[in-house]
Amino acid sequence: MDVTCSHCGTKGKVVFDVIHDASAEEKKGNTVVETSNLSKRFGRLVAVNALNLFIEEGEIYGLLGPNGSGKTTTIKMLCGLLRPSSGFAKVFHQVLPMKQVMQDIGYMPQETAVYLDNTVHENVVLFGQIYGMNKEEIMEKEQKILTFVDLIDRRDELVSNLSGGMKHRLSLACAMIHEPRFLILDEPTVGVDPELREIFWNYFNILSSKGKTILITTHYMDEASHCSKVGFIRHGSLIAEGKPDFLKKQTKTDSLEEAFLVLAKERN
């Protein structure tokens, strides 16, 4: 397809290289994530293929792609939960896995990972402790975070009694209890009602304006357009990256969904 580099104006045809929005790098600040040829194989399956990602401080980076394209596997390597087969991932300039960095990261997994036989409060305490907080710190933050996810009235309820969306909201609260510098959210708004999704996104924008960095995956394309930068991943490879408007413009489409389909077709 024909592309024009928005940085130097060079026109060209991009087929196999990643379409890259140079203007998205104008405000280069502190790099939070850097991956170099990051790859993960499961037997013969290449789940993540030579991924080169750069995420700057304060960015809301949306990693988008179809089911099985490697988003969660990438995220798990960025949390230090999976070791790369080759290449490396750095977060805050440290090669992962690195214990010291973990307390700066908040991770909300795709599958809601909260303890069903415990109360909402007990879960918050447990996750706070895992992230190295003491009891006083947890008590101080708990009220705020449970109010934000609208679970303050359910504080002493068993998690098994909560609805699916409520469990998801609790999982988000647990990932944010220690106010991490880097928040990794794997489909945080699945099963969350539209009103609360809007509240979440307003909050993500506030966090970003305070210099917090967010990496998010979502299948809701209307949400993805709120990201400061988007990376399209397909079969484990990054096929395009840039500001949402750039990607739409380059593909002459009106939505990120259409943009992805155009780019995916180009590759077939």
Ligand X SMILES: Nc1ncnc2c1ncn2[C@@H]1O[C@H](COP(=O)(O)OP(=O)(O)OP(=O)(O)O)[C@@H](O)[C@H]1O
Cα–Cα nearest to 189, from 228, 216, 155: 216
Q: Does 250 bind Mg ion (CB under 5 A)?
A: no
- Stretch near Mg ion under the rule CB under 5 A, chosen from 104-112, 113-121, 129-137, 208-216: 104-112
200, 60 contact by CB (below 8 A): no
Side-chain-side CA neighbours of residue 211 (13 Å): 5
Q: Which does 109 bind (CB under 5 to 8 A by kind): Mg ion, ligand X, none?
A: none
Work out whether strand 11-13 and strand 60-64 pair parallel, antiparallel, or are unpaired: unpaired
Does residue 72 touch Mg ion according to CB under 5 A?
A: yes
Decide if residue 110 touches Mg ion (CB under 5 A). yes
Q: Give the separation between CA 44 and CA 176, rounded to whole angstroms.
A: 36
* Amino acid sitting at position 200: F
Identity of the residue, 13 or 44, whose beta carbon is nearer to ligand X in the bound complex: 44
Kindly state the smallest distance separating residue 72's Cβ from Mg ion, in Å.
Answer: 3
Query: What is the distance in angstroms between the CA of the first residue and the CA of the last residue of the chain?
Result: 12
Least distance to ligand X from the beta carbon of 258, Å?
Answer: 19
Please report whether residue 112 would count as binding Mg ion according to CB under 5 A. Answer: no
Closest to ligand X by CB, 45 vs 206, is 45
Cα–Cα dist 184/215, whole Å: 5
8-state DSSP, 158: B
Nearer to Mg ion, 72 or 228 (CB): 72
Q: Between residues 188 and 244, which has the closer beta carbon with respect to Mg ion?
A: 188
**Shortest Å distance, C-beta 66 to Mg ion:** 10
Which residues contact ligand X by CB under 6 A? 42, 45, 47, 65, 67-73, 110
Strand partners, 41: 46
